[in-house]
């Protein structure tokens, strides 16, 4: 298993380097925005990856609510955590692109605001998981995750239903893109998806190990002779 | 507009800073857990 992880890690590193090269060198320069448009090759794949991870969190939470499966609970936690990391990238790279293009860092338009709300929902989910010690925490978190997932399609389709400053979607909607740019975008998305998968894998193993250790601590304190428990 | 390369650099750099910081927290948690496992494996001298 360790060997497979290592091989996948090396392949992902190569893919990420190739995707970076494609984004900076091969992709054509956009006529009006110039080089700043290349931020799009990190911003959009990060958003797509975050959305996929939030849907994985949704699926795992539903599964946990039905079956009370601990592995599903771990998958839900891990996908939310890595999803928040990718969503943070989206919220940071967006304003860096907006400053030179729109002249402002931020505007309270529907796409930007709903993305921020989505991020806050999942951050509150992680806070709940981190600081609540109740036995019902996974159940409460799974319910919150279901609500959070309902927000994802709203964020995606907000630029269809509301007048916003945000550019139109690349896939579907009214947006159009040069095929060479689309090619670079998809390679970056593939690279970030592989990276997200590996991070989730390693975080899953860590969480599972943490739970085993916590269980061992409980057993140790139960088996310890009276008065010797610290 | 095309002279705004520093924004491009900032966006790419910030992306990797965020990812590397998160990976670093995972590595730290692994190290802490390894120490805890080591403690658990030690024979309990009190009993």
**pLDDT of A170 above 70:** no
| 3-state SS assignment for residue A30 | strand
Cβ distance A92 to B14 less than 8 Å, yes or no, reads: yes
Cβ distance B26 to A100 less than 8 Å, yes or no, reads: no
A107 lies within 8 A of chain B by CB: no
Size of interface A-B (CB pairs under 8 A): 85
- ipTM score of complex: 0.89
- pLDDT (mean) for B7-26: 97
Q: Which residue has the tokens 């609500």?
A: A147
Chain B residues within 8 A of A82 when measuring between CB atoms: 22
Q: How far is CA A195 from CA A51, A181, A182, in A?
A: 15, 21, 20
A193 lies within 8 A of chain B by CB: no
From the list A92, A202, A209, which residue is nearest B33 (CB)?
Answer: A209
Q: How far is CA A206 from CA A66, A78, A127, A200, B37, in A?
A: 25, 10, 18, 10, 12
| Phi and psi at residue A75, to the nearest 5° | -60, -40
- Chain B residue whose CA is closest to A201: B26
pLDDT in tens, A147-166: 889 888 888 888 777 777 77
Q: What is the pTM of this model?
A: 0.91
pLDDT in tens, A39-62: 999 999 999 999 999 999 999 999
**pLDDT of B21 above 70:** yes
- Of A58, A104, A59, A57, the C-alpha closest to A203 is A57
């Amino acid at each position: 298993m360790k060997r497979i992880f290592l091989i996948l890690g090396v392949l992902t590193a190569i893919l990420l380097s190739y995707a970076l090269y494609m984004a900076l060198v091969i992709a054509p320069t956009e006529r009006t925005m110039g080089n700043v448009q290349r931020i799009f090759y990190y911003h959009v794949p990060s958003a797509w990856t975050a959305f996929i991870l939030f849907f994985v969190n949704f699926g795992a939470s539903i599964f946990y609510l039905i079956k009370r499966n601990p592995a599903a609970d771990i998958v839900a936690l891990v996908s939310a955590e890595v999803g928040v990391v990718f969503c943070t990238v989206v919220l940071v790279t967006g304003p860096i692109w907006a400053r030179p293009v729109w002249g402002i860092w931020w505007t309270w338009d529907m796409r930007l605001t709903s993305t921020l709300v989505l991020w806050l929902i999942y951050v509150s989910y992680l806070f709940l998981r981190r600081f609540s010690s109740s036995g019902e925490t996974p159940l409460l978190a799974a319910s919150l995750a279901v609500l959070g997932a309902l927000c994802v399609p709203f964020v995606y389709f907000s630029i269809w239903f509301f007048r916003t400053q945000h550019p139109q979607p690349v896939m579907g909607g009214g947006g159009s893109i040069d095929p060479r740019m689309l090619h670079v975008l998809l390679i970056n998305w593939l690279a970030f998806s592989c990276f997200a998968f590996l991070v989730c894998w390693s975080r899953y193993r860590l969480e599972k190990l943490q739970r085993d250790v916590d269980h061992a601590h409980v057993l140790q304190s139960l088996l310890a002779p009276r008065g010797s428990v610290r | 507009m095309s002279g705004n390369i520093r924004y491009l650099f900032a966006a790419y750099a910030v992306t990797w800073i965020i990812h590397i910081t998160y990976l670093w927290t995972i590595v730290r948690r692994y190290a802490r857990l390894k120490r805890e496992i080591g403690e658990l494996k030690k024979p309990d001298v009190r009993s």
